[in-house]
Structure 1
Amino acid sequence: METLKAIEARRSVKSYDPDHQMTDEEVNQLLSYTLLSPTAFNIQHWRFVVVKDRELRQKIREASWNQAQVTDASLLVVICADMKSWQKDPMRYWQNAPEPVQQALVPMILSFYKNEEQLERDEAQRSCGMAAQTMMLVAKDMGYDTCPMDGFDFEKVAELINLPEDFLISMFVVVGKPIRPANERGGQLSLDEVLIYDRFE
């Protein structure tokens, strides 16, 4: 599927075939392409928790106000971020770059985020958002539908997946074969309403 067609066709689907299973090869393909998403300083904050355990998925569904797609979709991905990833051997993010690039960027990473907790969090969320969008478009190209989710008890899910300290949960993305198409788009704002040139009035 062409990129523009995937963007146009991607919709948030709520009803999935609970009997359909994605192959390991499909999951690896989906996640491998997701890793190509952009991220600030190439830090790649994201961590993808693929929940396979059926009992755990049921508990996560209960923490998600019993939304059926949590258990019925073929794949449940909890997209998390390591907010301290900038501290963790940042040279590896630029290991393939020319030495002058490494010498410029790696110290910049350390100075940019030091003592900037809000920036850490904001950057992590931005990175996860871009990864989620890539994941959903790749899934659509592969013939699957998706639904991004933030309708769940973040603290409870963090407890269920044993989320490490200094990590956050950004969102879920569920992936699967739909049994019912998405509803018509509820109402798209016009370009005139959302486009601002140069500055707000």
Structure 2
Amino acid sequence: MDVLDAIRARRSVRKFDPDHRMREDEIDTLLSHTLLSPTAFNIQNWRFVAVQDAEIRAEIQKAAWGQSQVTECSLLLVLCMDLKSWDKSPERYWVNAPTHVSDSMVRNIRHFYRDDDLLQRDEGMRSCGMAAQTAMLAAVGMGYDSCPMDGFDFKRVGHLINLPPDHRICLMLCIGKPLTGAHPRAGQLDLSEVFLHDGFPER
């Protein structure tokens, strides 16, 4: 599928076929392409938890106020961020680069993120957001639909997936075979309202 077609086709779907299961090779294909998403300094600070255990999914559904897509989708991904990925052997992110490049990047990484907790969290949000979009477009290309979610109790879901103390959840992503199509688009703002040339107008 053409990339532009995939962007137009991607919609949030909430009714999935509960009997459909993604094959392991399909999950591997989806995630291997998601891993091509960009991250600042190549720190790859996203972590993807595929929740397959039925009991855990049922508990997550409760934490998501009963939303059916949590248990009916073929693949439930919890997209998390490792806030301290910048300080966990960052040289591995540049292992294939020349030594002088790798050494320089590692110094820059530590200088940029050290002592700035808000920047570490913001970076994780940016990374997970880009990864989620990649995953959703890959899903469309593979014949699946998806539903990004932030309507759930983050603390409860973190407890259910045993989230480490230096990690945070960004969002959940449900992927599967749709039972029904998406609702018509509720209303797109005109390009002229959101696209600006050279900055905002003076007030």
Residue 104 of structure 1 and its aligned partner are, at CA, apart by 1.6
Could you list the per-position Cα deviations for residues 55-84 of structure 1 after superposition, in whole angstroms to 9, with x for gaps in the alignment? 100000000010000000000000001000
In structure 2, the residue matched to 1:169 is: 169
| CA–CA distance in structure 1, aligned partners of residues 71 and 151 of structure 2 | 14
In structure 1, the residue matched to 2:196 is: 196
The letter for the 2-side match of 1:173 is L
In structure 2, the residue matched to 1:65 is: 65
SS at 1:182's partner residue? Answer: coil
In structure 1, the residue matched to 2:48 is: 48
Could you list the per-position Cα deviations for residues 105-164 of structure 1 after superposition, in whole angstroms to 9, with x for gaps in the alignment? 110000000000000000010000000000000000000000000000001111111100
In structure 1, the residue matched to 2:141 is: 141
In structure 2, the residue matched to 1:75 is: 75
The letter for the 2-side match of 1:177 is K
| CA–CA distance in structure 2, aligned partners of residues 161 and 102 of structure 1 | 34
The two structures have a TM-score, normalised by structure 2, of: 0.98
Task: Please say if residues 91 and 103 of structure 2, whose CA atoms lie closer than 8 Å, have aligned partners that are also in contact.
Answer: no
Task: Please say if residues 16 and 72 of structure 2, whose CA atoms lie closer than 8 Å, have aligned partners that are also in contact.
Answer: yes
SS at 1:12's partner residue? Answer: coil
- Which runs of at least 4 in structure 1 moved beyond 3 Å after TM superposition? none
Structure 1, unaligned runs of 5 or more = none
Residue 25 of structure 1 and its aligned partner are, at CA, apart by 0.3
Could you list the per-position Cα deviations for residues 3-40 of structure 1 after superposition, in whole angstroms to 9, with x for gaps in the alignment? 00000000000000000000000000000000000000
| CA–CA distance in structure 1, aligned partners of residues 185 and 103 of structure 2 | 48
In structure 1, the residue matched to 2:94 is: 94
Residue 182 of structure 1 and its aligned partner are, at CA, apart by 0.2
The two structures have a TM-score, normalised by structure 1, of: 0.99
In structure 1, the residue matched to 2:105 is: 105
Structure 2, unaligned runs of 5 or more = none
Residue 100 of structure 1 and its aligned partner are, at CA, apart by 2.3
Alignment coverage as a number of residue pairs: 201
SS at 1:143's partner residue? Answer: coil
Residue 196 of structure 1 and its aligned partner are, at CA, apart by 1.1
The letter for the 1-side match of 2:164 is P
In structure 2, the residue matched to 1:16 is: 16
The letter for the 1-side match of 2:196 is I
SS at 1:199's partner residue? Answer: coil
The percentage of counterpart residues that share the same residue type is 57
Residue 198 of structure 1 and its aligned partner are, at CA, apart by 1.2
The letter for the 2-side match of 1:199 is G
